[in-house]
Amino acid sequence: MDIYHSFFSLIPGSSDTDFSDNLATYMDGLKAAEKIASWRLMRRKLGLGPRELGEFHLMIEIENLAQLDDAFTLVSTRDGDIEMRHHSVNSMIEKITFALYRDFPDPHRIRGGERF
């Protein structure tokens, strides 16, 4: 499983609950279309965490990079419902940082032959 992370804050004056509702509609649509496996939104608690990462953390689980590419392909059409859903989320975000991680060790890893 790969996990696509985004760390961000909302644009001042944006409603946090409107954002979370919009995000749920957007992410649940991607999940229903099998473009992602699952997702989770978290919010920094008690001000703990690096300020440069923002107040929110979105984790999107994907089966593999092909699934992530399929999600990007769908969203990049910028057409119809997917564009409206993407805009309803993206227009409320500022200062975003992305990261991509994988489960470790890799399930296909063969041990004992490493040369480093």
Residue 101 tokens read as 């991680």
Q: How long a stretch of residues is the chain?
A: 116
pTM: 0.90
- Asked if residues 41 and 58 have their Cβ atoms less than 8 Å apart, the reply is yes
Give all domains of the chain, ordered by start, each with its CATH number.
2-97 (3.30.70.100)
Q: What is the pLDDT along the chain (116 residues), one digit of tens a residue?
A: 999 999 999 999 999 999 999 999 999 999 999 999 999 999 999 988 888 999 999 999 999 999 999 999 999 999 999 999 999 999 999 999 999 999 999 888 888 888 87
Share of the chain above pLDDT 70, in %: 100
CA distances from 90 to 47, 49, 87 (A): 23, 23, 5
